[in-house]
Amino acid sequence: MLPAIRLISKAAELAARRHNGMARKGRGNEPYINHLAEVANLLATATDGADAELVAAGWLHDVIEDTDTTRDEIAQRFSDRVASLVVECTDDMSLPKAERRQKQIADAPHKSPGAKLIKIADKISNIGARIHSDPSAEELEDLADYTGWAEKVVAGCRGGNGALDRIFDDTVELARSTL
Ligand code: ZN
Q: How confident is the model at residue 140 (pLDDT cuts 50, 70, 90)?
A: very high
Taking the centre of ligand 1 as the mean of its atom positions, its distance from the CA of residue 43, in whole angstroms, is: 13
Long-range contacts made by residues 32-41, C-beta under 8 angstroms, separation at least 24? 32/62, 32/66, 35/62, 35/125, 35/126, 35/129, 36/12, 36/60, 36/61, 36/62, 37/12, 38/121, 38/125, 38/128, 39/118, 39/121, 39/122, 39/125, 40/8, 40/11, 40/12
> How confident is the model at residue 26, as a pLDDT?
77
Q: What is the pLDDT averaged over residues 33-47?
A: 98
Domain locations in the chain as residue ranges: 4-178
Taking the centre of ligand 1 as the mean of its atom positions, its distance from the CA of residue 65, in whole angstroms, is: 9
Taking the centre of ligand 1 as the mean of its atom positions, its distance from the CA of residue 125, in whole angstroms, is: 8
Residues of the chain above pLDDT 90, percent: 96
Taking the centre of ligand 1 as the mean of its atom positions, its distance from the CA of residue 58, in whole angstroms, is: 8
CATH code: domain 4-178 is 1.10.3210.10
Catalytic residue at 65? yes
Per-residue pLDDT tens over the stretch 1-28: 899 999 999 999 999 999 999 999 877 8
pLDDT at 152 over 80: yes
Choose the weakest-confidence range: 24-28, 34-38, 62-66, 89-93. Answer: 24-28
> How confident is the model at residue 1, as a pLDDT?
84
Taking the centre of ligand 1 as the mean of its atom positions, its distance from the CA of residue 6, in whole angstroms, is: 22
Choose the weakest-confidence range: 10-14, 41-45, 131-135. Answer: 131-135
Catalytic residue at 53? no
> How confident is the model at residue 28, as a pLDDT?
80
Q: Which entry of 13, 30, 62, 65 is annotated as an active-site residue?
A: 65
Q: What is the pLDDT averaged over residues 104-124?
A: 98
> How confident is the model at residue 27, as a pLDDT?
79
Q: Which entry of 13, 48, 66, 141 is annotated as an active-site residue?
A: 66
The type of residue at 163 is A
Q: What is the pLDDT averaged over residues 57-86?
A: 98
Q: What is the mean pLDDT of the chain?
A: 97
